Amino acid sequence: MSENLAGQDLLVRVGEVVGDALLGAERVFIEELSSSHAYVTDVLDHAARFRGKRLRPTLLLLSAAATGGIKKDHEVLAAVLEMIHTATLVHDDVLDEAETRRHVATVNGRWNNETSVLFGDYLFTHAFHLASSLESTLACRLIGRATNIVCEGELTQIHERGNLDLAEQTYFQIIDGKTAELCASSCHLGAHFAGADEAVTQSLESYGRSLGVAFQIADDMLDIAGSEQETGKSLGSDFRKQKLTLPLIHLLRTSNAQTASRVRELFSEPNAASWAELAQLLEDSNSMEYARRRAEEYTARARAELESLEDSTAKQLLEEITEFVADRSF
Amino acid sequence: MSENLAGQDLLVRVGEVVGDALLGAERVFIEELSSSHAYVTDVLDHAARFRGKRLRPTLLLLSAAATGGIKKDHEVLAAVLEMIHTATLVHDDVLDEAETRRHVATVNGRWNNETSVLFGDYLFTHAFHLASSLESTLACRLIGRATNIVCEGELTQIHERGNLDLAEQTYFQIIDGKTAELCASSCHLGAHFAGADEAVTQSLESYGRSLGVAFQIADDMLDIAGSEQETGKSLGSDFRKQKLTLPLIHLLRTSNAQTASRVRELFSEPNAASWAELAQLLEDSNSMEYARRRAEEYTARARAELESLEDSTAKQLLEEITEFVADRSF
């Protein structure tokens, strides 16, 4: 079975366990965001077209299924997490001046930056409003704290833009904030609201964090060596926006003085020719391989966290997801 | 006593009633936002310099003082409201491409748009995180709902940009969302958390709403005929951004065909000369006077809402504030 077909098969089996709840979360998502303003509805309908893998809702619901079972609150929480994630995507597209996402024009591409900024805000505030419909303030607190960390991660990323001496450690701090934190929270909330004990909840949170780190490393690699057709994004966007990611950090650290100096030259003049030369240097070095190895290290950590869980179909699926995260082409 | 001196005197007397709690709210504000990232701290320190009148915290605390008295929760709520307001200002400055606010460079002027977008998000998420530190989800729900409405108001404003046929009713809907809603919520939360009954809470909410509408009409008038030195903003920004406000809506509705046609021409070519001519047309008509009258209508409504309250210094101050809102120069 090819990798893609195996991925399809996994999606079908995930759907068997969490499909109904995912649909429920989708209904909550749409209902919470519905507006009497035709213009807001237009933007919402458009943005729905580039929503993607539903990774965070899936992690949340599988974590619930693997512990005490999925409840109504989980559908609400899954919708909240997806809303926050969508808000960060919409604002990221402003930051990146991106024209397309998943083959569809971004909100700023289709309307303008102002609409994107306000629509992202609209998603954020509705997410918190929806979280406050639950009985206790716990979800609001956890989600608020996680989102604070996401913003700090993104602010640090902007601050370090163009810094060719970015330490690998800082790169990991950035992706831990901007990506892994929300995956960790998804698993934590899934388990906690299923009634899991503190130790199991912590294990699932750590699982989500390691998975998120691996996911982001893979995402950064796809920006270098992916297929525009499969990813639905234009490649080299990190390079254009002067963001250093793991392969480039490794290349700068390990190459000889001449190559390192050439890399610095290329990086300081982002255009199609310098990007082609840099992408080739990255391919020819073992920097992509290094990044892949680091991602696999994190997926192995994620799997190890699952060991303490009782056997279940959901646990099995959480394990299998780790294999696709680091080695994906979409 | 000149108007400004009378304003100073009012501020001193407000300070005597809510000064300690305002300082408490300020401490909560700073503590919630503090970050271990030096860059985030830099942006925070900078943004602190253009924060202004603390209108929303003041309304919240006076509403509490006028009903059951100020409690610790009110300081938290005041900090939350001020954080949300600051977030909307930071994002507004991106939308308006504003370079200065209150004589200080905006975040996007000093850093860049990306930093403004993310810093605004940081303020939003911390506001909701802080709100969730209270015991019940009530504050989160009310604040979430209010902020949803603020975003819808701002989205409608962007959508109606450049629409020379904007109905007065739509203008009022926009300012009700983008400004009055948060003033109404401030008063509502102040009264509710002081233990006021439903009727008093509703009266204070209506007071805040009418006050907010009057405040925004006055703000829009200052953009036409204010003093750049006193307001700390460059004039005519609504014109440059193609936003119709009350005086211009009135001018278009009431002037003869020739003038209306000239106004449309001027509006479609925003530059210094067309702005000077338009500002003069507005001054020469009774459109500014009309807007002032409408603002005073709302401050009268606000005062009427206070009648059901028992007499107190705080009630007296809420009354006096209405007189400065519609007729201010800063």
Whole-complex ipTM? 0.91
A37·B134 Cβ contact <8 A:
no
| pLDDT digit string, tens, across residues B287-328 | 999 999 999 999 999 999 999 999 999 999 999 999 988 776
- Tokens 């504000």 label which residue? B29
Name the residue type at position B215.
F
Test mutation, B42, B90, B137, B143, chain A, max A CBs within 10 A: B137
pLDDT tens, residue order, chain A (330 aa):
455 667 788 989 999 999 999 999 999 999 999 988 888 888 888 887 766 789 999 999 999 999 999 999 999 999 999 999 999 988 987 776 666 666 677 777 777 788 899 999 999 999 999 999 999 899 999 999 999 999 999 999 999 999 999 999 999 999 999 999 999 999 999 999 999 999 999 999 999 999 999 999 999 999 998 766 666 666 788 888 889 999 999 999 999 999 999 999 998 888 889 989 998 999 899 999 999 999 999 999 999 999 999 999 999 999 999 998 877 665
Chain centroid to CA B308: how far?
25
Amino acid identity at A12: V
The C-alpha atoms of residue A324 and residue A211 are separated, in whole angstroms, by: 10
Contacts of A99 (CB under 8 A, 6+ apart): A105, A106, A109, A234
Measured between CB atoms, which of A91, A133, A140 is closest to B117? A91
Tell me the residue ranges of DSSP E strands in chain A.
100-101, 104-105
Point out the residue among B88, B128, B156 whose CB comes nearest to the CB of A144. Answer: B128
DSSP B282-330: HHHSSHHHHHHHHHHHHHHHHHHHGGGSPP-HHHHHHHHHHHHHSS---
Closest listed residue to residue B65, CA positions, set B210, B184, B181, B196: B196
Q: Do B129 and A152 touch (CB under 8 A)?
A: no
**Neighbour-count burial of A271, counting CB atoms closer than 10 A to its CB (0-12 exposed, 13-18 middle, 19+ buried):** exposed
**Contact between A121 and B122 using a beta-carbon 8 Å cutoff:** no
Length of chain B equals: 330
SS (H, E, C) B184-240: HHHHHHHHHCCCCCHHHHHHHHHHHHHHHHHHHHHHHHHHHHCCHHHHCCCCCHHHH
Question: Structure tokens of B240?
Answer: 């440059």
Yes or no: say if B131 and A140 are a contact pair by the CB < 8 Å rule: yes
Interface probe with B: pick from A46, A76, A128, most Cβ of B within 10 Å: A128
Determine the Cα–Cα distance for residues A146 and B121; give it in Å rounded to an integer: 13
- Cα separation, A110 vs B141, in Å, equals 32
The Cα–Cα gap between B270 and B264 comes to: 11
Q: Which of A95, A108, A125 to mutate to test the interface with B (most CBs of B within 10 A)?
A: A125
Gap from A59 CA to chain B (nearest CA, Å)? 22
Which residues, 6+ apart, have CB-to-CB distance to A23 below 8 Å?
A: none
Residue B326 backbone phi and psi in degrees, to 5: -85, -15
Map out the domains of chain B with their CATH numbers.
3-325 (1.10.600.10)
The answer to whether B147 touches B121, Cβ cutoff 8 Å, is no
Q: For residue A112, give the DSSP letter.
A: -
Out of B112, B113, B128, the one facing A128 most closely (by C-beta) is B128
